Amino acid sequence: VPDHFNIKDLAYEFFGSLIIGLTFIFKGALIKTVSILDTSNIMLILLVTFVILVAQIYFIGYSRVKNKKSRHFGQFLTKRLFSLYLMSLIVSFGLVYLFGVNILAGSNYEALKVVVVLTMPCAIGAAIPSLLRQY
């Protein structure tokens, strides 16, 4: 049965997101790829990121909840989705500005696109510790 959400989960999310984010931030192709993406691509990346997170939360955590009537999926999902995405966004912003990728991007808009694109692998990385604790 999945544990109730607590502050340790935020720490696990941070380090999972950081480890995966560090592998992507130094890729030269990241800035090249982001430079050709338009707004519709960015919106699609945001949508796919949320879909992946919802699927991870459902299949990794909620599917093991025994009494689904007392722990509704909406309640189970909300705090986990918010924390996973927020933590991955914080890590992405931090990495982009810490390593000067915002300068390489050329403009604030391009830097924001890098953050959104980097948030996708960071969000997946943030969910990995909960997967590992289940097995």
Question: Could you tell me the two tokens for 129?
Answer: 């510790």
**pLDDT exceeds 90 at position 44:** yes
Instruction: Give the mean model confidence (pLDDT) for residues 71-100.
Output: 87
**pLDDT exceeds 60 at position 79:** yes
What is the CA 98 to chain-centroid distance, rounded? 18
What's residue 73's pLDDT? Answer: 74
Place of tokens 């699609």: 44
What's residue 30's pLDDT? Answer: 87
Among residues 30, 85, 19, 29, which one has the least CA distance to residue 52?
85
Instruction: Give the mean model confidence (pLDDT) for residues 24-48.
Output: 91
Percent residues over pLDDT 70 in the chain = 84
Question: Could you tell me the two tokens for 48?
Answer: 């796919």
d(CA 23, CA 48): 20
Instruction: Give the mean model confidence (pLDDT) for residues 103-108.
Output: 90
Average confidence score pLDDT of the chain: 85
79-102 b/e (C-beta count within 10 Å ≥ 16 → b)? ebbebbbebbbbbbbbbbeeeebb
What's residue 62's pLDDT? Answer: 66
d(CA 83, CA 103): 28
Report yes or no: 10 and 130 within 8 Å, Cβ to Cβ.
no
